[in-house]
Structure 1
Amino acid sequence: MRKRLSEAQFQACIRGLDVGAQTLQIAHGVLVCGQTQASFVQALGLSKGAVSQAVHRVWRVFARSNIPPGYERVSAVLPQHQAFIVKKWAEDAQARNNGSKI
């Protein structure tokens, strides 16, 4: 699944975020405009990791703030069979919320 943000979502994410102009350019191009990370690797002469990190810094802000009311993000280490069940619950919750990633 390709990570995408609207312009408004992007602007909300970067408000108060302490990153450089190049990071914002890369993240905007990938998340809002749909450009590939590879295009920035080539155009700017950066490593794949550097481009990926730029995108991830903005996406992480969005993921942390985009939790519907009544939901909570959790992290746990579980046996495989329990992890499978929890992943199914997460898929069901995502489907109930119009497919938005939670």
Structure 2
Amino acid sequence: MKKRLTEAQFLAAIKDLKIGQRTIDIARGVLVEGRPQAEFVTSLGLSKGAVSQAVSRVWGATKGNLPEGFEQVAAVLPEYQAFIVKKWAENAKRK
């Protein structure tokens, strides 16, 4: 499952983090914009681990940062059921 955040979720996650601007830029690129981590490895000359750590730092801050009445889940489903769940997730984001 690809880790993704809306801009609002991202801003809420980084609000209290003590991280530098480059970490913010990398994490926003991957989590909000959907850019591959390898792009930052190449463009910034960083190791895969450094880029992964930047993303993980912000992603980890999102735990417990869900709207009231929502729960984050991960599941392995047949293709059609996964399609339905993804549609539900899209609708929930709009709310």
Pairing 1:35-54 to 2, within 5 Å after superposition: 35-54=35-54
Counterpart CA distance in 1 for 2:64 and 2:24 is 18
By relative contact order (CA 8 Å, sep 6+), the higher-ranking structure is 2
**9 and 46 in structure 1: CA distance in 2 versus 1, 3 angstrom threshold:** same
TM-score norm. by structure 2 comes to 0.70
Q: Can you list the C-alpha shifts for 1:37-96, whole angstroms capped at 9, x where unaligned?
A: 00000000000000000000000011243386597xxxxxxxxxxxxxxxxxx74xxx6x
Alignment partner, residue 5 of structure 1: 5
Uncovered stretches (5+) of structure 1, i.e. residues with no partner: 72-89
Amino acid at match of 1:12: A
CA distance in 1, matches of 2:69, 2:6: 20
Deviating beyond 4 angstroms after TM superposition, the runs of 4 or more aligned structure 1 residues are 67-71
In the alignment, structure 2 segments of 5+ residues that lack a partner are: 76-84
Alignment map for 1:1-102 (pairs within 5 Å) = 1-66=1-66, 69=69, 91=75, 98=88
Give distance in 1, aligned partners of 2:70 and 2:35: 34
How many residue pairs are counted as aligned between the two chains? 79
